[in-house]
A and B are shown apart, each in its own frame.
Chain A
Amino acid sequence: DVKVTQSSRYLVKRTGEKVFLECVQDMDHENMFWYRQDPGLGLRLIYFSYDVKMKEKGDIPEGYSVSREKKERFSLILESASTNQTSMYLCASSPLGSNGYTFGSGTRLTVV
């Protein structure tokens, strides 16, 4: 069964910590995405990548960075976590030329 795997289901971090969220897909997909989901706001795109070492800003990149050193792995980094980054983070991937996203099960991050 093909999968997008996010390293943590629940995470609690302190304000100011550097936080790494990992996402791995086993489908050889070119495109990978990081979204955050908040009540009433829906999914908002943080960053995406369409190839190794390539990255593009989404709608809300401030306070985040990403890394894609290998095709299967796309990491989201919170340089200095703040309470307003408490959210559900969803990783997704899709093959080149397709809009068919497969999502990971999400990481619920709480920053205290």
Chain B
Amino acid sequence: RKEVEQDPGPFNVPEGATVAFNCTYSNSASQSFFWYRQDCRKEPKLLMSVYSSGNEDGRFTAQLNRASQYISLLIRDSKLSDSATYLCVVNIFGDYKLSFGAGTTVTVRA
């Protein structure tokens, strides 16, 4: 079983729509959680960290559910520039490295 699993999508949404997707993680010792964004043929870049209480960054809202071992990302008022692959990333307590999901592709159309 993969450590981090995501629905690959693609999620095709019109501009202005809300889109949400989840990822699940298998290791209950996971401590830190992130969403990275990766544009086509570019490197991943940190979008936001995910905190236990949930957090917002502008139009982006991240939630963590430790009991069910999933995190979610919601994008409100989608823009064309939000088209990207969103990587769910997890860190296990005491570990140097991050574990990446395969990504969820979002395409926002005009």
A-side residues, CB < 8 A to B, are 31, 33, 35, 40-43, 45, 48, 50, 56, 58, 90, 99-101, 103-106
B44 touches A42 (CB 8 A): no
Interface of chain B residues 9 through 46 with chain A (CB within 8 A) = 32, 34, 42-46
- Per-residue interface assignment for chain B, residues 75 to 110, with 1 indicating a CB less than 8 Å from any chain A CB and 0 otherwise: 000000000000100010000111111110000000
Chain A residues within an 8 Å CB radius of B91: 99
A43 touches B8 (CB 8 A): no
Chain A residues within an 8 Å CB radius of B4: 42
In the complex, A42→B99 CA distance in Å? 9
Known contacts A48-B96, A48-B97, A99-B91, A104 near B44 by CB under 8 Å:
no
In the complex, A101→B38 CA distance in Å? 13
Chain A residues within an 8 Å CB radius of B87: 42-43
In the complex, A70→B77 CA distance in Å? 46
Shortest beta-carbon distance, A67 to chain B, in Å? 18
A106 touches B97 (CB 8 A): no
B45 touches A103 (CB 8 A): yes
A106 touches B103 (CB 8 A): no
Chain A residues within an 8 Å CB radius of B100: 35, 42-43
A99 touches B32 (CB 8 A): yes
Task: Please name 8 pairs of A and B residues whose Cβ atoms are closer than 8 Å in the assembled complex, sorted by A.
Answer: A31-B96, A33-B97, A43-B44, A45-B99, A99-B34, A104-B43, A105-B43, A106-B42
B97 touches A45 (CB 8 A): yes
Shortest beta-carbon distance, A5 to chain B, in Å? 11
Chain B residues within an 8 Å CB radius of A35: 100
Known contacts A42-B87, A45-B97, A99-B34, A90 near B102 by CB under 8 Å:
no
Chain B residues within an 8 Å CB radius of A101: 44, 46, 98
In the complex, A105→B45 CA distance in Å? 10
Chain A residues within an 8 Å CB radius of B46: 100-101
In the complex, A59→B107 CA distance in Å? 31
Known contacts A42-B101, A43-B100, A105 near B44 by CB under 8 Å:
no
Shortest beta-carbon distance, B100 to chain A, in Å? 4
Partner of B98, one of A40, A99, A106: A99
